[in-house]
Amino acid sequence: MRYAVLILIIIGALNWGLIGFFGFDLVASIFGGQLSLISRIIFAIVGVAGIYAISFLFPSKTATE
């Protein structure tokens, strides 16, 4: 699960990097624009992955020592 979340975060970061440096939204260009349903679903999934990744900052206290 963690690897899937990290992959989604990397995809989102690369897309934002492309937007920031070149003004090019790769996800939107592949799936038909920022307002297309598929693009919005992908953006939402990447956003949820980012929210879930916040838990990576707080390691589990039940880990064996």
C-alpha torsion angle, residues 55, 57, 63, 65 (rounded to 10): 180
Q: What is this structure's pTM?
A: 0.77
| Residue 62 belongs to some domain of the structure | no
| Residue 30 belongs to some domain of the structure | yes
Distance from C-alpha of 17 to C-alpha of 53, rounded to nearest angstrom: 19
| Residue 39 belongs to some domain of the structure | yes
More confident residue, 63 or 55: 55
User: pLDDT tens digit string along 10-59?
Assistant: 999 999 999 999 999 998 899 888 888 988 999 999 999 999 999 888 88
Please give the residue range of the domain that contains residue 6: 2-55
| Residue 60 belongs to some domain of the structure | no
Indicate the number of domains in the chain: 1
Tell me if 52 sits within 8 A of 15, measured CB to CB: no
Which of 57, 61, 50, 63 shows the shortest CA–CA distance to 4? Answer: 50
What is the structure's pLDDT at 24?
92
